[in-house]
Amino acid sequence: MNPDCRADLFISNGDIAERAHIVPYCESAENTFDNLILICPNCHTNFDKNSAFTADEVREWKSIRHAEIDRVFGKTFSSFDDLRKEAAPLLARNKSIYENYYMKDKRRLWDVFEKEIIVNNRKLCTMFESNLCLFQNHKDNSFSNQAAVRDFIDHAKEFEATRDETERQRSILFPEVINSIFGIQPIEGALLPSAESLELLIEELDEQGRFIDVSLDAERPLLQMMENGKETVVYLDDTPRIRQMYHDARCFRRAEMRLDSLIFALKHFHLCGKKATRKSKTNLREYIAKGKCFLFVYEYCLSYAELARLAPAEHTVVVNLHRWNGKQCISEEAKELAEQINVKLLDMDSFFPFVRKL
Q: Angle, to 10 degrees, between the axis of helix 259-271 and the axis of helix 348-357?
A: 30
CA dist 298 and 86 (Å) reads 41
Which of the pair, 232 or 33, is modelled with greater confidence? 232
Using one digit for the tens of pLDDT, what is the confidence trace for 236-272? Answer: 999 999 999 999 999 999 999 999 999 999 999 989 9
End-to-end CA, the chain: 72
* Residue 131 to residues 4, 75, 218, 333, Cα–Cα distance (Å): 31, 8, 35, 54
The secondary structure of residue 258, as a DSSP letter, is B
Q: What is the mean pLDDT of the chain?
A: 91
Q: Span 173-178, mean pLDDT?
A: 95
80: confidence class by pLDDT, cuts 50, 70, 90: very high
pLDDT at 143 exceeding the cut of 70: yes
* Residue 263 to residues 4, 53, 122, 199, 310, Cα–Cα distance (Å): 61, 68, 42, 14, 21
CA dist 285 and 206 (Å) reads 17
Which of the pair, 40 or 297, is modelled with greater confidence? 297
- Spatial CA neighbour of 90 closest among 118, 62, 132, 131: 118
- Spatial CA neighbour of 25 closest among 37, 43, 41: 37
